[in-house]
Amino acid sequence: MTTTTTTGTTRVYRVYIKATPQAIWDAITKPEWTQRYGYQGLAEYDLRPGGGYLARATPEQHQDGMPEILVEGEVIEVEPPVRLVQTWRATWLDEPATRLTYEIQERGDGISSLTVTHELAGAPQTLTQVDGQLESAGGGWPEVLSDLKTLLETGRPLHA
């Protein structure tokens, strides 16, 4: 189940996954995982404060006119495998970077919660897209997190 909380321009998404915090962390931060769910781009992290973050387009996305680097950012805080804070900027939009926080908590019985908080002040187009409100842009965070959950629990993404 995915829950969404809306407060002004901050969106909070929470999903419960039958997986360890380490498995969720790896799925978020390792390119061999990020290419298997969501928008399927390769994520590259330099996991240290001040380190870079890039999400690369798939060849199909690039052929369809998207830039090679879809999202860029900077790591602000890193505490593996429970917390990652970074900036996040969609390169095809003329908007400032936003702040993205991943928090992973072990709940017991092999279940962990993943909470994604995306602070989107000053980035209304980004907000519309990541919230899944723009049909041509996919399902945003709700779809990405549902896909991540499905992949970790079944070994197959939603759209397999």
Backbone φ, ψ for residue 145 (5° rounding): -70, -35
Task: Give the per-residue pLDDT at 69.
Answer: 95
For the stretch 43-78, what's the b/e string if a residue is b when 16 or more beta carbons lie within 10 angstroms of its beta carbon? bbbeeeeeeebbbbbeeebeeeebeebbbbbbbeeb
Interatomic CA distance for residues 63 and 61, integer angstroms? 5
Q: What is the pTM of this model?
A: 0.92
Measured between alpha carbons, how far is residue 117 from residues 108, 144, 152, 156 in Å?
Answer: 22, 14, 20, 25
Provide the percentage of residues in the chain whose pLDDT is more than 90.
Answer: 80
Structure-block tokens of residue 139:
């399902």
Provide the percentage of residues in the chain whose pLDDT is more than 70.
Answer: 94
Enumerate residue ranges in the chain where pLDDT < 50. 1
Q: For the segment 10-41, what is each residue's pLDDT rounded down to a tens digit?
A: 999 999 999 999 999 999 999 999 999 998 98
Task: Give the per-residue pLDDT at 1.
Answer: 46
| Domains in the chain: ranges and CATH | 2-154 (3.30.530.20)
